[in-house]
Structure 1
Amino acid sequence: MPKLRSTAAVCTTLSALAATSILGSPSAAEPFSTTPCTLHRTDDHHSEGLDSWNPDYTRPTGALDAVLVFLSFPDATPRLSPAQLTADHFPATSRYYEQASYGRFTLRPHPVSHWLRMPKPSTAYAMKRDWSAENRGTYLRDAFAAADRDVDFSRYQVVYLVADPDAPGVDSDATKVVNLDTPIHVDGTDVRRVVTVFEKHPPDRLVLAHETGHVFDLPDLYHRPVDGKGDWDTYVGDWDLMGSQFGLSPDLFAWHKWKLGWLDPRQVVCVRGARPTRLTLEPLEAGPGVPVQDAAGAPAFGLGHGVKLAIVRTGVDSALAFEVRSAAGNDRAACRQGVLVYRVRSGAQSGAGPVEVVDAHPHTEACWENSVHPALADAPVALGESFTVPGDDVKVEAEGRTASGAWTVRITPGLKDEG
């Protein structure tokens, strides 16, 4: 097996690291979606534009293989086995993506069966959320050197470096994806990003699924307060994994499923002009083997190939999205069901509000005991309700349900439609 490049060469590569990510000039785009409502991909980190796919990122279609490398330190003896830590995240992470993708994507974990020893004590790496480039670079360099004898990195499209959670220097808040400006070349392949895992045992719910979303070019949708204090979930609340892995409805937005290639073009409708458009929207969660409630409230199968997303273009880099959310699949703990409305901005980078849920019930809250942001927990337009989006003059009406459980929706764009 080809060996890792010399330490000096790896140090040079890792010197380009920043706390979260370092990105070079935009790569040549791969043509993707060209409907009238498609927003253009910008140079912003994890742009929500969908006219092209950034080839620096792996497309999550078909089957991808992920390696889990378990790292111990001289200042601690692991109390847990790699098998126990693997069970913290799998099969839950694979199951999440299997359901979210309607079976179009399978994430296959390949855990190393034993601990690999890092050369320095855990405290020497000064792990923390906003990690310095120098310390993070040292950690990655040492981790790849420790793993190279046991792991053929050319076999894997996703790399998880899992630290001993009981080591004294390990900080669970440091879990994140590291993007490399210059890839690490090892075993004849380029490793462009790494998921560094420092989670406690048991870990945060769906935390690895969230971090894996970044590997597929999905942005953070939470709001990080300037001083680190306050509410982090004001942008999307419970409604997308990339906002919070603790959400009651953590399935990915239909916009993200479109971006990742899990929706066919015919499942996305662009609403244009000022005349009302009536359409039938299937619940986002409906897919093979996932029952949703029919019009009478009983479990029903058979949906999954109909329209999932309606879009009204509102500007050069903005759009309104409409989808139906129900208590099924990844959203089985949903607080409320109905037509969810959200704004998308392709020119906003990760963490700066590229998606914001529009609250159809701004004066009420719901599920305050377990929602990450109760003010948005009742955001969807319920059956029989109508709602006009403030500032955009777009009206949506949830008119009825079909016998199979789909929703009949009427959308009137108004005069501000710029599609």
Structure 2
Amino acid sequence: MSVPKLRSTAAVVTTLSALAATSILTGPSAAEPFSTAPCALHRTEAHHSEGVDGWNPDYTRPNGTRDAVMIFLSFPDATPRTTPAELAADHFPATTRFFTQSSHRAFTLRPHPLTHWLRMPRPSTAYAIRRDWRPEDRAAYVRDAFAAADAEVDFSRYQVVYFVADPDAPGVDSDATKVVNLDPPQRADGTDVRRVVTVFEKHPPDRLVLAHETGHVFDLPDLYHRPADGKGDWDTYVGDWDLMGSQFGLAPDLFAWHKWRLGWLAPRQVVCVRGTGPTRLTLEPLEVGPAIPTQSTGGGPGFGLGDGVKLAVVRTGPDSALAFEVRSRAGNDRTACREGVLVYRVNSGAESGGGPVEVVDAHPRTEACWENSVYPPLADAPVSVGETFTVPGADVQVEVEGRTFSGAWTVKITQGTAG
């Protein structure tokens, strides 16, 4: 869903796409065991909980290859001015490329767009499509969309479903793009479809909007702050630093915490920092993927840059932790404003849109990249080489000591600094 946003530090008007995924009905479900690391926060009943000790089986896990069907819907009150091929090209291969890079090739999203329009039974205006959609109108739209596609699509073949509306139909609101959760699920072709992405984007669409929405299909929360009156700054929680905060961010790669949750980091790539005193470790940039296996000097399998530690975690409470990762100008973050060690708080008890992740600003008195950052006060948040930063209220200090020849960063994390 797209909403208007004004940057307070620059006279720029932009939009932040995709408000929290909405549900026709919701209900708790059991979690499958996942991580047993001592710093792995527990899953809670919060919507899209950031807990990593279990996986909600109602959500598609993004590993290997997942197939997505893209269904194009027209209406009796409009003749489409674009083709399905043009609309598919608005989103692919860009969406696939984002996830391939972010997962370091652990996950491929394979699109299957239809080549023709399917006609909805009612005019576009009959569905009252808008940002905060009435549940009965939304349910009618989804029901009619499934009925229109029933004869054309074998839903049992796909793990992700996109319903793409004719962007030029008079009743289509481009701010209404969102994930709709279905509980009970829609039974189609012998399979349960638990959620669909309803796409109402204009042509061409907002940048990376479909990647953001697809993140919800994989149980990722919204990380932006929605002001109560809809006015003010939406990006105060994470700024540019994760796609689930803003798809317009300069560094939209997913946090290492999210990559851990999604199963894209191996256990050896997450370090739980425990006890008082200093812990020295080497962190590799988040954006650098696993190397193709090389041969070690002994002749056995070895690994290059990209297979080392990506995430350091300090547990701060039953449902809270501090996370440390290196962000660099590479991959999905090639336009990042600043490089360095990014620090953020994680709260597994916070709801989607309620601040489950908050970036800690290591330079609170300054801002950067005001001309194109979604939130310049956090654009220079990372800790740079040679800097020491004490996390406010946490009695935890991080010192960035240097960089290795291979491009990794040497870091010292100290707990109990006040003592």
Same fold (TM over 0.5): yes
Match for residue 271 of structure 1? 273
User: Which of 240, 243, 246 lines up with 1:244 in the alignment?
Assistant: 246
Alignment coverage as a number of residue pairs:
390
Deviations 1:382-412 (A, max 9, x none): 1110100000010000100000000000000
User: Closer, same or farther in 2 for the Cα pair 1:23/1:275, shift >3 Å?
Assistant: farther
User: Which of 118, 133, 148 lines up with 1:116 in the alignment?
Assistant: 118
- Aligned-partner Cα distance in 2 for 1:81–1:416: 63
Q: For 1:283-322, list aligned pairs within 5 A.
A: 283-288=285-290, 302-322=304-324
User: Closer, same or farther in 2 for the Cα pair 1:52/1:22, shift >3 Å?
Assistant: farther
In the TM superposition, structure 1's runs of 4+ consecutive aligned residues that sit over 3 Å from their partners are 22-25
Deviations 1:200-229 (A, max 9, x none): 011000000000000000000000011111
- Aligned-partner Cα distance in 1 for 2:84–2:237: 36
Match for residue 205 of structure 2? 203
AA partner of residue 239 (structure 1): W
Q: For 1:74-113, list aligned pairs within 5 A.
A: 74-113=76-115
AA partner of residue 224 (structure 1): R
Q: Decide whether the 8 Å contact of 2:291 with 2:306 is kept in 1.
A: no
User: Closer, same or farther in 2 for the Cα pair 1:97/1:376, shift >3 Å?
Assistant: same
Q: Decide whether the 8 Å contact of 1:19 with 1:130 is kept in 2.
A: no
- Aligned-partner Cα distance in 2 for 1:127–1:288: 43
Q: For 1:4-19, list aligned pairs within 5 A.
A: none
Residue 304 of structure 1, CA deviation: 1.0
Match for residue 20 of structure 1? 22
Match for residue 412 of structure 2? 410
Residue 303 of structure 1, CA deviation: 1.6
- Aligned-partner Cα distance in 1 for 2:290–2:312: 21
Q: Decide whether the 8 Å contact of 1:70 with 1:164 is kept in 2.
A: yes
SS for the counterpart of 1:166 is: coil
Q: For 1:28-67, list aligned pairs within 5 A.
A: 28-67=30-69
Q: For 1:116-265, list aligned pairs within 5 A.
A: 116-265=118-267
Residue 266 of structure 1, CA deviation: 0.4
Q: Decide whether the 8 Å contact of 1:20 with 1:130 is kept in 2.
A: no
State the TM-score, normalizing by the size of structure 2. Answer: 0.91
AA partner of residue 353 (structure 1): G
AA partner of residue 359 (structure 1): D
User: Closer, same or farther in 2 for the Cα pair 1:67/1:234, shift >3 Å?
Assistant: same
Deviations 1:321-366 (A, max 9, x none): 0000000000000000000000000000100000000000000000
User: Closer, same or farther in 2 for the Cα pair 1:355/1:416, shift >3 Å?
Assistant: farther
Deviations 1:125-146 (A, max 9, x none): 0001110110001101111111
Residue 269 of structure 1, CA deviation: 0.2
User: Which of 345, 348, 361 lines up with 1:346 in the alignment?
Assistant: 348
AA partner of residue 373 (structure 2): S
CA RMSD of aligned residues (A): 1.6
Q: Decide whether the 8 Å contact of 1:314 with 1:416 is kept in 2.
A: no
For structure 1, list consecutive stretches of 5 or more residues without a partner in the other structure: 1-17, 291-300
Further displaced range: 171-180 or 281-290: 281-290
AA partner of residue 91 (structure 1): P
Deviations 1:269-326 (A, max 9, x none): 0001111000000000001579xxxxxxxxxx94210000000000110000000000
State the TM-score, normalizing by the size of structure 1. Answer: 0.91
For structure 2, list consecutive stretches of 5 or more residues without a partner in the other structure: 1-19, 293-302
User: Closer, same or farther in 2 for the Cα pair 1:217/1:273, shift >3 Å?
Assistant: same
User: Which of 378, 381, 395 lines up with 2:383 in the alignment?
Assistant: 381
SS for the counterpart of 1:409 is: strand
Deviations 1:33-82 (A, max 9, x none): 01111100001100001111001101100000000000001111000000
- Aligned-partner Cα distance in 2 for 1:188–1:41: 30
User: Closer, same or farther in 2 for the Cα pair 1:212/1:19, shift >3 Å?
Assistant: closer
- Aligned-partner Cα distance in 2 for 1:346–1:377: 24
- Aligned-partner Cα distance in 2 for 1:252–1:190: 28
User: Which of 372, 376, 391 lines up with 2:374 in the alignment?
Assistant: 372
SS for the counterpart of 2:22 is: coil
- Aligned-partner Cα distance in 2 for 1:165–1:29: 38
Match for residue 12 of structure 1? none
User: Which of 64, 67, 70 lines up with 1:68 in the alignment?
Assistant: 70
